[in-house]
Structure formats: structure tokens, C-alpha cells
Amino acid sequence: MITSELQNKVTQNVIAQMQTHGTNWLKSWVGDSRMPINCETKKSYSGINLFILLGEEMTSHEWGTYKAWSRVGKQIRKGEKATTIVFFKSLESKTDVDTQGNPLKIPMMKCYYVFNESQTQDYEVAPVIGGSDFSHVFADEWIQNTGANV
């Protein structure tokens, strides 16, 4: 999927949410409200990927490619649709340089197709923790996963 197609898809998702909810839109926090993380590395998604994955409103916060889920011992259910995310990186040219003699920077973008843990076989929604069972550990984890300096 090229960049303009992905931008259009994200834009259409936002417009659909606005048309459905108008000015009363609030994040519904379906399932667990932790920030989206990679199923293998446990690193948080950031940038546009964070926005894309939060918009999917899945019941788990863990995401991964088909192969990543396979490596952690889980199988994607037949017929499940992937969500497209992007990876950006700036590469240095090995042959071309700028006017100061520094290697030219070449932007690279690659699309990945990820699935939510709730799309795996034998997935069960974790029980909701009641207010009396609140743990600051979960809040601290959520804040840490945002990458914000607090």
C-alpha cells in the first residue's frame, strides 16, 4: 500500500468516527486500554502507527505480523484481516554525498501487516479488573508505554 493510500485510509477512518459520533466522540477503550505494543519485543508503537492501532479498538493491546505471532506460539484465525502499519527509516547513501561531503539521506518506507492478539486462535478476553483491584503498576506501565517524560 503506497503512502497516499494509507493516508486516505486513516483519514476515512477518522471521518467515519466523526460521522458516527459527531462532537461527542470519546475513546471507547474497548477491552484493555493499554498502549499498543509489539507481541515479541513489547515495545510501544509510535507515530502514525499508534494512531492507526488505537483506532482499531481491539480487545488486546498486543500486535504483531503473522510470522511474529507464529514465533510466539500463536496462530491467526483463518479469514482475519490485517491492519497496515508503516516503518520509516532514513538510510545513508554509500556513494552519493551532499555539498559538505556528508552521505545523502535516503528516506525508506515499508508497510507491515499486523494482527491483534484478539485475532489469534484460542484468545480469551482477560477479566476486567474492578475499581477496588486497581494497581498503580498498570498505570505506571501505561505511562511508560506512551514514551512521555513525566
Contact (CB, 8 A) for 8 and 2:
no
- Which has more pLDDT, 39 or 143? 39
Residue 21's pLDDT is 73
pLDDT band at 51 (very low <50, low <70, confident <90, very high): confident
The answer to whether the CB of 40 falls within 8 A of the CB of 70 is no
Strand order in the sheet with 83-97: 37-38, 62-65, 103-116, 83-97
Max avg pLDDT among 16-20, 57-61, 65-69: 65-69
pLDDT for residue 2 is more than 60? no
Which pLDDT score is estimated for 32? Answer: 53
Work out the pLDDT band at 6, boundaries 50, 70, 90. Answer: confident
E runs forming strands in the chain:
37-38, 62-65, 83-97, 103-116
Per-residue pLDDT tens over the stretch 29-49:
445 557 899 999 999 998 889
What is the pTM for the complete model shown? 0.70
